[in-house]
Amino acid sequence: MEIIRSISGMREFSGDCLQSNKSIGFVPTMGALHDGHLSIVRQSTGANDITVVSIFINPTQFSEGEDFNCYPRDYDGDIRKLDGLYGGKIAAVFMPEANDIYPDGYKTYVEVRGLSEKLCGMFRPGHFTGVATVVLKLFNAVNPTRAYFGLKDYQQCAVLKKMRDDLNLDCEIVLCPTVREADGLAMSSRNAYLSMEQRLDAPCIYKALKDTGHAIKNGSLKIKDIAAKLHETLSAVKSITEIQYASAYDPDTLDEITRGVRVLIAVAVKMGTTRLIDNILVEL
């Protein structure tokens, strides 16, 4: 497994792979790898000749006052986890330097209008512009045949698919199911911030999503009443200090809905300073 630290090195490596007709699966990450990431990597190694995993904590997707400086970093541990995994099909880890991605005088950003301002975008202004920009830059370095993203970040997936379509990118975007702890909490690098008490309360988020999902399926709850039900349930949880959003949304436009046959039920809450998001998609 090669460790590649520059855009030029990455382009050379991917150029060689493509010349020998090898498909490249790409898993962009910000490191602090957990089983959720590894399951995404497994999907990629199963479907491509080689896989590239990137580790880059992207400064432009963090707003002022967010956790950029203390975001969990364990580069050596991450490399150890990936080395030799899945039959050695992870050919490279791409770990660019921040000043290679954003050199002095950097001015170009990708803005996916319409989807970026909703849900998380209301509370993290500029976040999805940072995500779309870095993912496009990583795509240009890695030249992936397929790129893999986890559905826990549903809005990120929607924004990146739209960027792919609008910019005619020649890369398939593959969406991977959310991986959960045994008690239902969606895996996330930020779970490491939770205190013991918050961690014990955190599975209530998925439980609330599942309960409302079942209730709209069996007809005991109307879509228009999902927001009220979620707020009632989540506000009763001691560790939840803020509910940023919790409602039913159109899975394509991310607009809040009161009726429909495909319903995205999505939640963002804060437990102290830690922000947790989760969602389920219900087909009626």
Q: Is 30 in the site for ligand PAF (CB under 6 A)?
A: yes
Select from 28, 36, 121, 213 the one that contacts ligand PAF (CB under 6 A): 28
By CB under 6 A, which span of 27-35, 62-70, 105-113, 224-232 interacts with ligand PAF? Answer: 27-35
Task: Please give the residues from 99 up to 138 whose contact with ligand PAF meets the rule CB under 6 A.
Answer: 131, 134-135
Question: C-beta of 70: minimal distance to ligand PAF in Å?
Answer: 16
Contact with ligand PAF (CB under 6 A): which of 29, 133, 145, 247? 29
Minimum distance from CB of 134 to ligand PAF (Å)?
Answer: 5
Q: x/- string (CB under 6 A) for ligand PAF, residues 249-268?
A: --------------------
CA angle 132, 135, 140 (to 5 degrees): 125
Label the pairing between strands 274-283 and 2-4.
unpaired
Burial of 246 (0-12, 13-18, 19+ CB in 10 A): buried
- Report d(CA 279, CA 152) in Å as an integer: 7
Q: Which of 85, 109, 100 is nearest to 27 (CA)?
A: 85
Do the Cβ atoms of 71 and 30 come closer than 8 Å?
A: yes
Catalytic-labelled residue, pool 34, 37, 127, 231: 37
Nearer residue to ligand PAF within complex by CB, 3 or 215: 3
In terms of CB distance, is 112 or 282 closer to ligand PAF?
Answer: 112
Rounded (to 5) percent helix, strand, coil in the chain: 40, 20, 35
Of 229 and 275, the one with the shorter C-beta distance to ligand PAF is: 275
Which residues in 49-68 contact ligand PAF (CB under 6 A)?
58, 61
Buried b (16+ CB within 10 A) or exposed e, 230-244: bbebbeebebbeebb
Q: Which of 153, 154, 164, 227 binds ligand PAF (CB under 6 A)?
A: 153
Amino acid letter at 61?
Q
Q: Which is nearer to ligand PAF, 30 or 230 (CB)?
A: 30
- Would residue 214 show up in a list of annotated catalytic residues for this protein? no
Residue 239, CA distances (Å) to 12, 21, 191, 194, 242 in order? 49, 52, 13, 10, 9
Cα separation, 56 vs 27, whole angstroms? 11
Q: How far is the CB of 90 from ligand PAF (least distance, A)?
A: 16
Q: Which residues are catalytic?
A: 37
Q: Binding residues for ligand PAF, per CB under 6 A?
A: 28-30, 58, 61, 131, 134-135, 153, 156
